[in-house]
Copies of this chain bind each other. A is one copy, B any other.
Amino acid sequence: MIRGLLSVLFVLVTVAVSSSLAKPEKNIAKRGKRIPQTLSRGWGDQLIWAQTYEEALYWARAQNKPLMVIFHLEDCPHSSSMKKAFAEDKDIQKVLNEDFIILNLVYETTDKHLSPDGQYVPRIIFVDPSMTVRADITGRYSNRMYAYEPSDTQLLLSNMQKAKKLLKSEL
């Protein structure tokens, strides 16, 4: 029975997980068949999503594509309205499909670089295939620099174009 790293991880997880997160039980139908959970969680059912941050980083490097990480919560109205605008925006979906590795998470990772100014939702963070978090690619809100609202889809699209200009093209 091994502890060690796990205990470190535990501290990080405890810090990372807010008590406001949705309980998985809420997805359980009391009777009848459950609808299988999807990796897209409604952010683009036709896109290919990575399951974990490790997987996403691997594919970003292997395919030399930028990674978009979306942090959201199922019960958060801001997340829901942004998700709707995001999923319905054909330009965003097209560029993601062709040029990005994508990941959406309802739990924080243990990597603090993914929360440059806090762990609010929704927030969208870009990571270069050189494994550098693009903290320079921000939305329009100075108190929550990585937040986007439904009216910000054009800004998000332009930020996606920025993220496509890789930091180190030789990698």
Contacts and interface: CB of A to CB of B under 8 A. Distances in A.
B52 A28 contact: no
B132 A2 contact: yes
A107 B58 contact: yes
Size class of the A contact interface (CB-based, 8 Å): 35 or more
A159 to B, nearest CB: 14
Interface stretch (A36-44, A78-86, A139-147): A36-44
A167 interface: yes
Contacts of A50: 24
Interface of A: 1-7, 9-10, 13, 16-17, 21, 24-25, 27-28, 33-34, 36-40, 45-46, 48-55, 57-59, 61, 105-113, 116, 127-128, 131-136, 167
Most B C-beta atoms less than 10 A away, residue of A25, A36, A110: A36
A142 to B, nearest CB: 19
A131 B39 contact: no
A45 B34 CA distance: 8
Nearest to A41: B51
B131 A9 contact: yes
A17 B106 CA distance: 24
Given A2-B132, A10-B131, 15 more contacts: A1-B134, A1-B135, A1-B167, A6-B111, A9-B54, A9-B57, A9-B111, A16-B54, A17-B58, A24-B59, A28-B48, A34-B45, A37-B38, A51-B107, A54-B107
Nearest to A4: B113
